[in-house]
Amino acid sequence: MKEQNTELAYLAGVFDGEGSMGMWSKGKDKGPAFRLQIEMSDGDTVLRFLTYFKQGSITVRVPKDLKYKMMYHWRVNGEDGKTIARAMLPYLSKRRQAQFQEAA
C-alpha cells in the first residue's frame, strides 16, 4: 500500500508542475467537459499515468523539425478525469486544488 501511495504522490507532483485541468469544449454541438491532461517529452513518465490510473489515452506528437523533441500527451475526459484528480488532490498545491474546485 505504501508503494502505491508513493507512486500516486510522485504522479501528483509531476502533474502539479506539468499538467493542466479544466473545462474544454467538445465541439459546437456539445457542451464543455472536464479534462485532465499532461504533455511532456518524457514518454516514460507520461506512460506511468496511463499505467497507474488505467484511464485515458496517450498521443504522440512527432516534430516536423529535428531540433524539437517528440511530445507525449496523456488526457482523460469527463468523470474519469474528475475521479483521478480527486485521487491526486491531497498531494497537489493549493493553487491546483482551487483550480479543481472551480472546474469540477
pLDDT recorded at residue 32: 83
| Cell numbers representing residue 33 in the block | 467537459
Across 87-102, average pLDDT: 94
pLDDT recorded at residue 66: 86
Note the pLDDT tens digit of each residue in 35-82: 999 999 999 999 999 999 999 999 999 988 889 999 999 999 999 999
Per-residue pLDDT at 26 exceeds 90: no
Other CB atoms within 10 Å distance of the CB of residue 52 = 15
- Using CA atoms, how far apart are residues 19 and 74, in angstroms rounded to an integer? 9
pLDDT recorded at residue 31: 74
